[in-house]
Structure 1
Amino acid sequence: MDTTTSTVFIPGATSGIGLALAQRLQAAGSTVVIGGRRRSLLDTLAAEHGFDTVAIDVSDPASIRVAAAEVLDRHPALDGLVTMSGIMRNEDLRDPGHIDDAVATVETNLLGTIRLIDAFLPQLLSRPTSTLVTVTSGLAYVPLTATPTYSATKAAVHSYTQALRQQLVGSSVQVLELAPPAVRTDLMGGADFGGMPLDAFADEVMDLLRSGAAPEVLVEDVLPLRWAERDGTHQQILEAMAGRGH
């Protein structure tokens, strides 16, 4: 990914990892459009940082279509998409009431990602070179038992990304997967379970992108999760994370 001259849309960039990456890509020279649900927050970020902004709710197919049309109308040279949006909720699977959280999580994390790709892929394919970055999680490889549907959606996006990448072999689109470890954001109070400092994470990701890391963008902290099956540590890590009370 060219971090210096790209035009990138990042939905879910009003806080946390999305905002940190948006700021760094912009500082590197790229044009960054950020998306989110709260117009007041988007307006504040536009005033503070100079981002172009688009209102979008990735759990709503109509909102994705409208936002995509708006972004592409204003940025016909768009050549980057980061599917950043996601929600993470605790679920007690013994309680039938968890299903509402499960459905919302699938709608946002999995279907939202698929619909974003559908909305922007024709544009990315039309560019001489372009980059599509899906965002999964270390929990795609070892689930956090307190957030089973979140972990499952991230595993699904990992699989979907692999299939997409293979289908696009020979095209102009580079398909990357960014798999964060626990990071200190407001997603689920990351600091409570020892998350990586946000600035350190975002700086390491930028270094990896600049170095041409592909097809997976993996900071050092996520490697124990990514390779747990290979290393024979999966059950040990699963139980250790479950024992933290989250």
Structure 2
Amino acid sequence: MNITGNTVFIPGATSGIGLALAERLVAAGNTVIVGGRRQERLDEIARTHPGIDTVRIDTADAASISEVTREVISRHPGLNTLIAMAGVMRVEDWREGSAVLATAEETVTTNVLGPLRLIAALLPHLQRQPEATIMTVSSGLAFVPLRATPTYNATKAAIHMFSESLRLQLEGTSVAVVELEPPSVATDLLPGQRESSFAMPLEEFADEVMAILREQPDATEIQVERVGFLRHAEARGDYAETVRALNAADPH
């Protein structure tokens, strides 16, 4: 992925990783549009980041995705990069049976159907661009499960395999598929995660991601050093030990 001269749409970028990357992409010479559900956050971003355009979108709502993607293309016909950032992470206990189902369904809708619907809506436009990029966002938990978040783990594993498959289908086209695989990062994805000593500082994570994109423009998986512990556990041959270590450190 070339990190300058693009027009980048990042749904789910009103805080955390998405906003940190949006700020850096603008500084690198890109046009950036961030999307989110909370209008007050969008208004604040518009005030404090005059180089960032904003749009209200609910990536859990198929109609919102259809309407807003058309609007973004109309406002920014040079759009050539999608970063499907929006996601939710919920603690679940499946021993509670059907009580957990609503939370699981919400997680699947946001984390799987949201990115798939965004990609389906924007891919025809992206394929008409000389160079384009789809960046999906999985997780280190796509490769090693955290006991407390079964559905989140599963959705990120699904995004990983979808990214691998989509890359195969788009081989030879103008559209590259890049997968961002964060470790635990100090954001508000889970209560208390921002203060966790286990989480990677947000600014450090975003800086390392940008360095990887700059130094490895052909990379298909964006892995900061800290996520390698999870991403390569099976290849190292210590998967079971890594599962135990991860869950021993989990405060939930």
TM-score if structure 2 supplies the norm length?
0.95
Identity of aligned residues (%): 54
Partner of 1:83: 84
CA RMSD across the alignment:
1.0
State how far apart, in whole Å, the 2-side matches of 1:45 and 1:101 are.
29
- Between Structure 1 and Structure 2, how many residues are aligned? 246
Q: What is the SS of the residue equivalent to 1:166?
A: helix
Q: What is the SS of the residue equivalent to 1:95?
A: helix
Partner of 1:118: 120
State how far apart, in whole Å, the 2-side matches of 1:126 and 1:15 are.
30
Q: What is the SS of the residue equivalent to 2:173?
A: coil
Aligned residues of 1:65 and 1:119 also touching (Cα < 8 A): yes
Aligned residues of 1:181 and 1:221 also touching (Cα < 8 A): yes
Q: CA deviation at 1:193?
A: 5.6
In the alignment, does 2:178 pair up with 1:144? no
State how far apart, in whole Å, the 1-side matches of 2:13 and 2:198 are.
22
Structure 1 outlier segments of 4+, above 6 Å: none
Q: What is the SS of the residue equivalent to 1:94?
A: helix
Q: CA deviation at 1:213?
A: 4.8
Q: CA deviation at 1:4?
A: 1.4
State how far apart, in whole Å, the 2-side matches of 1:12 and 1:123 are.
20
Deviations 1:19-73 (A, max 9, x none): 0000000011100000000111101101110211111111110011111011001
Deviations 1:223-244 (A, max 9, x none): 1111001112211121222223
State how far apart, in whole Å, the 1-side matches of 2:149 and 2:239 are.
17
State how far apart, in whole Å, the 2-side matches of 1:213 and 1:197 are.
26
Superposition map of 1:97-176 within 5 A = 97-176=99-178
Q: CA deviation at 1:245?
A: 3.3
Larger deviation: 43-52 or 100-109? 43-52
Q: What is the SS of the residue equivalent to 2:94?
A: coil
State how far apart, in whole Å, the 2-side matches of 1:32 and 1:141 are.
30
Partner of 2:214: 210
Instruction: Flag structure 2 segments of 5+ consecutive residues without an equivalent.
Output: none
State how far apart, in whole Å, the 2-side matches of 1:83 and 1:193 are.
27
Deviations 1:100-123 (A, max 9, x none): 110000000011110010011111
In the alignment, does 2:29 pair up with 1:29? yes
